[in-house]
Chain A
Amino acid sequence: MAKILIVDDDHDLIEATTAVLEGNGHKVLSAFTGADGYNVAKNEKPDLILLDVMMEHDSVGFEIARALHEDANTKGLPVILITGIRKAKNLPFKFEPDEDWLPVTVVLEKPVTPELLLESVNQALKK
């Protein structure tokens, strides 16, 4: 069982994701903004963070991922980025983890099926 923090401004999505994760024995924390998510992550030290990108502003998820990576207390904490940014911004590419600027374990594109979510969570927790 792991302690997993979900940061997303979509309340319905948090509810659904929580149900899936709790159904698989995980403890779930949640935050609806990047700023809150950052504070919860620092205080609660979860085992894994599921992080949205477009919340208070369009790239807050990227910034939170970097801030957590740069903070000695949270560095190394696995982050799964779950985002709909490619479609929302008409990007001709998918974002990928990048040690220079996007220090996350994996980037998943919304909508994420429960199977892919659980598989990605299990993979990230093993690392």
Chain B
Amino acid sequence: MPKLTIDGRPVVVADGATILEAARQLGIKIPTLCYLESIQAIGACRVCVVEVEGAKSLVASCVMPAAEGMKVMTNSKRVREARRTVIELLLSEHDGNCQTCNRNNDCELQTVAYELGITNVTFEGVKTKNDVDASTAAVVRDNGKCIKCRRCVAVCNQVQDVGALFPQFRGFKTVIGPAFGRNLDTVACVQCGQCAAVCPVGAIVEQSHVELVWKALEDKTKTVVVQTAPGVRAALGECFGLPVGTLVTGKMVAALRRLGFGTVFDTNFTADLTIIEEGMELLSRLKKVVKEKKPAALPQFTSCSPGWIKYVEYFYPEFIPNLSTCKSPQQMFGAVAKTYWAKKVGKKPEEIFVVSVMPCTAKKFEAARPEMNSSGVQDVDAVLTTRELGRMIKQAGIDFASLQDETVDSVLGQSTGAADIFANTGGVMEAALRTAYEVITGRELPFENLHVAPIAGLEGVKEASITITGTVPEWSFLEGVTVNVAVAHGLGNAGKVMKKIKSGEASYHFVEIMTCPGGCIGGGGQPRLTNDSVRKNRINAIYREDEGKKLRKSHDNPKVKQIYGEFLNMPLGEKSHHLLHTEYAIREKV
């Protein structure tokens, strides 16, 4: 527990803490660019330098351990000048124009430059080669803006265990990107956008659909409908300065109407529908194995998260049969909006334009998959990230914070609390258990407030076992069976689960995987910068939304009953298979 002083103020820190952490403990702000809390501290950008009495040179506070008796100065003339030099050198290479950059007002380099009072770049020199890679549906890389902080490399390799991005060459010539100068679409990138979520500048951003959506809203021949994923309502407010964890469901609906969306629906509706289809799929697999003694692919994996789907297609194709065949709620929505709802309003599928608002960049890729056109045309036409919706609301001059709450339209709008929790790790599993347990036993899931505590929270891999007793006659073959489930978030953690399953170390019946840390609330399309504190606040907001609903189990959603009664006929039936289920493809890694 070393004791040191920073700017003359004493502080005691935990063993191993860095000077940066010690300064934060005192509320002293040290600028950072390459540092990424609990993920990367490499001292590469040097903007966090501080002066330590007795040290020959300035030290990078993000990597220098705090030591007993150390005297640190974070705001000396020498420090200020060094930081300014660092930023001016970065700006001298940075081939970007703030006014026209996607990240204007959301750029850490811009902010640090402003906060350091830089009004002129002293250095003149060659700019980094402008090399734009727009090959994927989800993200765009612009190397000219890259400041080589390696945050994207850290999340892609350490957190997601995907390894699509690497630093190549050295010094000024360093390029961050896929190996051998390839484009992202030729390597095993799952398009999760975690790189875009951590990039401090505009070097990796989402592939924007903003103009596409504005154009559709102006098109008189199109009926434009919008769906919003559950994770968006717990984060959109951050785009407008509202505290992290503020629920803005009603304001979001009001803003969407003011943008010109004639019909505002909710992805939550098809999240409830997913639970019916995926829950019955799981039960039918269990029936095959336990009752009929026939083979069925267990564990069943959830299939809501398109980055995870692509990860399995690349890295674990032998487990494709284990993926639920259910489309994600986004794609189920597109399919029923252009068939069931289109018929209700007397439109053809091609006359409907479906816009999604997602906390995710991989949803852009998913919408463009060739399998996703069961209505006869592309089921989802445009996908906005939470950040893009925030920008559109600003473009329209809407005073978001002062909007009065509005409610979504029927019939693809109503949802239960089970749908809300699709937004966070453990949520899809909990929602499925709320329904499956009740189907099997006729009783409510026996957990306090319906929350399955062992699978909640930010632990990377979570497990639970539930022994089924008191079954109804139709499901009596499951009497006494212990169902083992696992939940993982972040593909690095997913990889750990897959290795355990593959080696036989673990045996599960049902596994939920969400691509991004924390689940969709921490998605690649969410307002940045996300850390565990932000994730916890958003998750708490989602649980509040769930607990505030009168109906909290997907099978209680009256509009879900309606769509089966009017249109789908039955879960896993012919129409469901055509519209709500899909197939997957083995992908070559390079």
Measured CB to CB, the residues of A under 8 A from B are 58-59, 62, 87, 89-93, 95-96, 98, 100-102
Contact = CB atoms under 8 A, between A and B. Distances in A.
19 contacts: A58-B569, A59-B569, A62-B566, A89-B569, A89-B570, A90-B280, A90-B571, A91-B564, A91-B570, A92-B435, A92-B438, A92-B439, A92-B555, A93-B555, A93-B560, A100-B562, A101-B562, A101-B565, A101-B566
A60 to B, nearest CB: 12
A58 B410 CA distance: 25
A59 B558 contact: no
Interface string B566-582: 10011111000000000
B129 interface: no
Contacts of B573: 89
Interface in B387-437: 410-411, 435
Contacts of A58: 569-570
A93 B561 contact: yes
Interface in B235-284: 276, 279-280
A101 B571 CA distance: 19
- Chain B interface size, as a band, is 20 to 34
Given A90-B570, A92-B279, 9 more contacts: A59-B569, A90-B280, A90-B572, A92-B280, A92-B435, A92-B555, A92-B571, A95-B565, A102-B562
Contact of B561 (A87, A90, A98): A98
The 3 closest A-B pairs by CB, nearest first: A89-B570, A93-B555, A92-B439
B371 interface: no
A59 B573 CA distance: 14
B222 to A, nearest CB: 26
B350 interface: no
A90 B569 CA distance: 11
Contact of B411 (A93, A96, A100): A100
B292 interface: no
B218 interface: no
Given A89-B570, A90-B571, A91-B570, A96 B565 contact: no
A102 B566 CA distance: 9
Contacts of B566: 59, 62, 101
A100 B557 CA distance: 13
B556 interface: yes
Interface in B520-574: 555-556, 558, 560-562, 564-566, 569-573
B569 A95 contact: no
Given A90-B570, A93-B555, A98-B558, A59 B280 contact: no
B558 A96 contact: yes
B280 A96 contact: no
Contacts of A93: 276, 555-556, 560-561
B83 to A, nearest CB: 60
Contacts of A92: 276, 279-280, 435, 438-439, 555, 571
B556 A59 contact: no
Contacts of B124: none
B448 interface: no
Contacts of A89: 569-571, 573
Contacts of A59: 565-566, 569
B474 interface: yes
Nearest to A102: B565
B343 to A, nearest CB: 13
The residue in A89, A92, A102 that gathers the most chain B C-beta atoms within 10 A of its C-beta is A92
A66 B571 CA distance: 23
Nearest to B474: A87
Contacts of B438: 92
A55 to B, nearest CB: 14
The residue in B410, B411, B562 that gathers the most chain A C-beta atoms within 10 A of its C-beta is B562
Contacts of A62: 565-566
B375 to A, nearest CB: 21
Contacts of A100: 410-411, 562
B561 A95 contact: yes
B131 to A, nearest CB: 52
The residue in B435, B474, B564, B572 that gathers the most chain A C-beta atoms within 10 A of its C-beta is B564
Contacts of B570: 58, 89-91
A53 to B, nearest CB: 9
Nearest to A62: B565
B110 to A, nearest CB: 51
Nearest to B276: A92
B464 to A, nearest CB: 21
Contacts of B561: 93, 95-96, 98
Nearest to B560: A93
A95 B565 CA distance: 8
Contacts of A98: 558, 561-562
B112 to A, nearest CB: 54
Contacts of A91: 564, 570-571
Nearest to A97: B558
Nearest to B564: A91
